[in-house]
Amino acid sequence: MNVTLFITCYNDTLFPATGKAVVAVLERLGHTVDFPQAQTCCGQMHYNTGYQNDARHMMMHFLKVFRDAEIVCVPSASCVAMMREHFPKMAAAMPDAAVGRDVTAMLPRVYEFCELLVDKLRSVDTGATFPHTVTLHSTCHSLRGTKIGERPLQLLRAVRGLSYVELPQADQCCGFGGTFSIKNADVSAALLSDKVRAILDTQAEVCTAVDNSCLMHIGGALSRQRAGVRCLHLAEILASTSGEPA
């Protein structure tokens, strides 16, 4: 199948390795990947911080760039949630009814990375090898915004050599919350400290998730504490092989 990658602005800038991993997994499974260079951002940061007008422009740009894509793959649950929850509302508030039709036509073609693998491509086993102890943080947007649910776990379980340890209270928010982490830094840090404690208690070597935003926050604290635990996007684990380990 031909998959068009929406890498998302922050993965593009801060986590290119995740994008490369997505490409590696999809190509290994025999699909072709396409990356429109005109793409930018879904508008989530602006929308969630109160800058809805700016977000609207980003939505329009996204719709234009991905208009002809058959399948759009997004390695970020929160960006997918942004599109599903807010694009229809933003479109409905616009005078041009064509925007609403564009959104309705676009959304069924948008897949979060795990959804794409499990539901559309039916490839739970991606042929990965990752001989490490891994725990999974279930991000809020993978649980509620997109209802990705157990899919990340299904994918992890098929990875050779991986030993999975459950994260206690995995569904507790890590406290990132986008600009919340700056505006309410103390509360954000308090939530983070609970999350970090839970992760360290598992003795896992790696903490994974389907949102690099949460991992940036969690990983930032683990790094500050010199905890020696790595944070890796799920795609990077699924891309890992014995020849090219993550």
Partner 1 sequence: MSVRVGKAAEAPTFAQAARGMLGNAQLRHNVRHATDVIRARRAHAVGETADWQQLRDSARAIKDHVLRHLDTYLEQFETACKAAGGKVHWARDADEANTAIVDIIRSHGGTEVIKVKTMTSDETGLNPALEAAGITPIETDLADLIIQLGADKPSHIVVPALHRNKAEIRRLFMEKMQLPELGERAEDLAGAARRYLRERFLRVPVGLSGANFAIAESGSLCVVESEGNGRMCLSLPKVLVSLVGIEKIIPTFGDLEVFLQLLGRSATGERMNPYNSIWSGVTAGDGPQEFHVVLLDNGRTGVLTEPETRPTLACIRCGACLNICPVYRQTGGHAYGSIYAGPIGAILTPQLQSMKHSQSLPFASTLCGACYEVCPVKIDIPEILLHLRNKVVKSGGAPLAERLAMRFAARAFKNGGRLESAQKLVRIAQKPYVHSGSIERLPGMLANWTQFRDLAAVPAESFRQWWAARQNKEKK
Applying CB under 8 A, which residues contact partner 1? 7, 9, 11-17, 19-20, 35-41, 43, 45-52, 54, 57-58, 61, 86, 140-141, 143-145, 172-173, 175-192, 216-217, 219-221, 223-224
Which CB atom, from 151 or from 217, has the smaller least distance to partner 1? 217
CB atoms within 10 A of CB 108: 7
Which CB atom, from 63 or from 159, has the smaller least distance to partner 1? 63
Which CB atom, from 48 or from 129, has the smaller least distance to partner 1? 48
Q: How far apart are CA 70 and CA 198, in angstroms?
A: 40
State the nearest-atom distance from the C-beta of 14 to partner 1, in Å: 6
Which CB atom, from 41 or from 72, has the smaller least distance to partner 1? 41
State the nearest-atom distance from the C-beta of 124 to partner 1, in Å: 26
State the nearest-atom distance from the C-beta of 111 to partner 1, in Å: 18
Q: How far apart are CA 82 and CA 232, in angstroms?
A: 22
Dihedral sign, CA of 179, 181, 187, 191? positive
State the nearest-atom distance from the C-beta of 40 to partner 1, in Å: 4
User: Which of these, 167, 134, 149, 141, lies nearest to 237 by C-alpha position?
Assistant: 134
State the nearest-atom distance from the C-beta of 8 to partner 1, in Å: 9
Sheet bearing 2-5, strands edge to edge: 32-34, 2-5, 71-74, 110-112
Which CB atom, from 1 or from 190, has the smaller least distance to partner 1? 190
Q: How far apart are CA 196 and CA 187, in angstroms?
A: 14
